[in-house]
Protein backbone atom coordinates (compact mmCIF):
# COMPACT_ATOMS: atom_id res chain seq x y z
CA UNK A 1 0.00 0.00 0.00
CA UNK A 2 1.20 3.45 -0.96
CA UNK A 3 1.91 5.25 2.32
CA UNK A 4 0.47 8.52 0.97
CA UNK A 5 -2.97 6.85 0.94
CA UNK A 6 -2.78 5.96 4.61
CA UNK A 7 -5.20 7.99 6.72
CA UNK A 8 -3.64 9.47 9.83
CA UNK A 9 -6.71 11.35 11.00
CA UNK A 10 -10.40 10.85 10.37
CA UNK A 11 -13.20 13.13 11.44
CA UNK A 12 -16.84 12.26 10.89
CA UNK A 13 -19.43 15.00 11.19
CA UNK A 14 -22.76 13.24 11.05
CA UNK A 15 -24.57 16.18 9.51
CA UNK A 16 -21.78 17.45 7.26
CA UNK A 17 -19.46 14.77 5.96
CA UNK A 18 -16.02 13.33 6.54
CA UNK A 19 -12.56 14.83 6.67
CA UNK A 20 -9.55 12.57 6.20
CA UNK A 21 -5.95 13.63 6.63
CA UNK A 22 -3.43 11.44 4.83
CA UNK A 23 0.14 10.56 5.76
CA UNK A 24 1.56 12.95 3.17
CA UNK A 25 -0.52 15.88 4.47
CA UNK A 26 -3.29 15.80 1.85
CA UNK A 27 -6.68 16.59 3.38
CA UNK A 28 -9.86 15.21 1.80
CA UNK A 29 -13.18 16.80 2.78
CA UNK A 30 -16.25 15.14 1.35
CA UNK A 31 -19.80 16.26 1.99
CA UNK A 32 -22.71 14.02 2.95
CA UNK A 33 -24.49 14.34 -0.35
CA UNK A 34 -21.42 13.48 -2.39
CA UNK A 35 -20.73 10.50 -0.18
CA UNK A 36 -24.22 9.14 -0.46
CA UNK A 37 -24.71 9.87 -4.15
CA UNK A 38 -21.36 8.28 -4.89
CA UNK A 39 -21.98 5.26 -2.62
CA UNK A 40 -19.80 2.46 -4.01
CA UNK A 41 -22.14 -0.44 -3.12
CA UNK A 42 -23.60 -2.61 -5.89
CA UNK A 43 -27.16 -1.33 -5.37
CA UNK A 44 -26.24 2.34 -5.68
CA UNK A 45 -23.89 1.65 -8.58
CA UNK A 46 -26.75 -0.05 -10.42
CA UNK A 47 -28.99 2.99 -9.80
CA UNK A 48 -26.35 5.32 -11.21
CA UNK A 49 -25.91 3.10 -14.22
CA UNK A 50 -29.64 3.50 -14.89
CA UNK A 51 -29.23 7.27 -14.60
CA UNK A 52 -30.96 7.48 -11.20
CA UNK A 53 -29.65 9.08 -8.04
CA UNK A 54 -28.80 6.86 -5.08
CA UNK A 55 -30.17 9.69 -2.97
CA UNK A 56 -32.79 10.84 -2.24
CA UNK A 57 -34.92 7.73 -2.65
CA UNK A 58 -38.72 7.66 -2.34
CA UNK A 59 -39.72 7.64 1.33
CA UNK A 60 -36.20 8.49 2.49
CA UNK A 61 -35.78 10.30 5.79
CA UNK A 62 -34.76 13.95 5.42
CA UNK A 63 -32.31 15.38 6.02
CA UNK A 64 -29.62 12.85 5.18
CA UNK A 65 -27.37 11.99 8.14
CA UNK A 66 -24.61 9.58 9.03
CA UNK A 67 -25.59 7.44 12.01
CA UNK A 68 -22.36 5.47 12.24
CA UNK A 69 -18.98 5.25 10.56
CA UNK A 70 -16.23 2.76 11.21
CA UNK A 71 -13.02 1.44 9.76
CA UNK A 72 -13.46 -1.57 7.51
CA UNK A 73 -10.06 -3.16 7.83
CA UNK A 74 -7.28 -0.66 7.26
CA UNK A 75 -8.29 0.46 3.81
CA UNK A 76 -11.91 1.58 3.86
CA UNK A 77 -14.62 3.42 5.76
CA UNK A 78 -18.02 1.83 6.27
CA UNK A 79 -20.80 4.38 6.63
CA UNK A 80 -24.25 3.71 8.06
CA UNK A 81 -26.91 6.21 6.95
CA UNK A 82 -30.07 7.28 8.70
CA UNK A 83 -32.23 5.27 6.31
CA UNK A 84 -30.39 2.12 7.41
CA UNK A 85 -28.27 1.86 4.25
CA UNK A 86 -24.83 0.51 5.19
CA UNK A 87 -23.49 -1.64 2.38
CA UNK A 88 -21.17 1.04 0.99
CA UNK A 89 -17.47 0.60 1.73
CA UNK A 90 -15.49 3.70 0.86
CA UNK A 91 -11.81 2.93 0.22
CA UNK A 92 -9.66 5.78 1.56
CA UNK A 93 -7.78 5.81 -1.69
CA UNK A 94 -11.05 6.41 -3.59
CA UNK A 95 -12.10 9.19 -1.20
CA UNK A 96 -8.78 10.85 -1.79
CA UNK A 97 -9.42 10.72 -5.54
CA UNK A 98 -12.93 12.19 -5.06
CA UNK A 99 -11.47 15.08 -3.13
CA UNK A 100 -9.34 15.92 -6.13
CA UNK A 101 -11.55 15.16 -9.11
CA UNK A 102 -15.08 14.72 -7.70
CA UNK A 103 -17.21 11.67 -6.92
CA UNK A 104 -18.21 9.07 -9.52
CA UNK A 105 -21.22 9.91 -11.64
ZN1 LIG B 1 -25.14 2.22 -1.59
Distance of CA 77 from the midpoint of ligand 1 (Å) = 13
Distance of CA 70 from the midpoint of ligand 1 (Å) = 16
Q: Where are the domains of the chain?
A: 3-101
Distance of CA 38 from the midpoint of ligand 1 (Å) = 8
Q: What is the CATH number of domain 3-101?
A: 3.30.2020.30
Encode pLDDT of 37-69 as tens digits: 999 999 999 999 999 988 998 888 989 999 999
> What is the arithmetic mean of pLDDT over 10-21?
97
Under 8 Å CB-to-CB from 101, ≥6 apart: which residues?
none
Under 8 Å CB-to-CB from 43, ≥6 apart: which residues?
54, 87
Encode pLDDT of 21-33 as tens digits: 999 999 999 999 9
For residue 68, how many other CB atoms are within 10 A of its CB? 12
Give CA separation, 58 vs 12, 14, 38, 61, 75, in Å. Answer: 26, 22, 18, 9, 32
Q: What is the pTM of this model?
A: 0.90
Amino acid sequence: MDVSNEPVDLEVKREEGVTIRFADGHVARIGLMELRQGCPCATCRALRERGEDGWPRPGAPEPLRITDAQFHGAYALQITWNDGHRTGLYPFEALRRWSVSGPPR
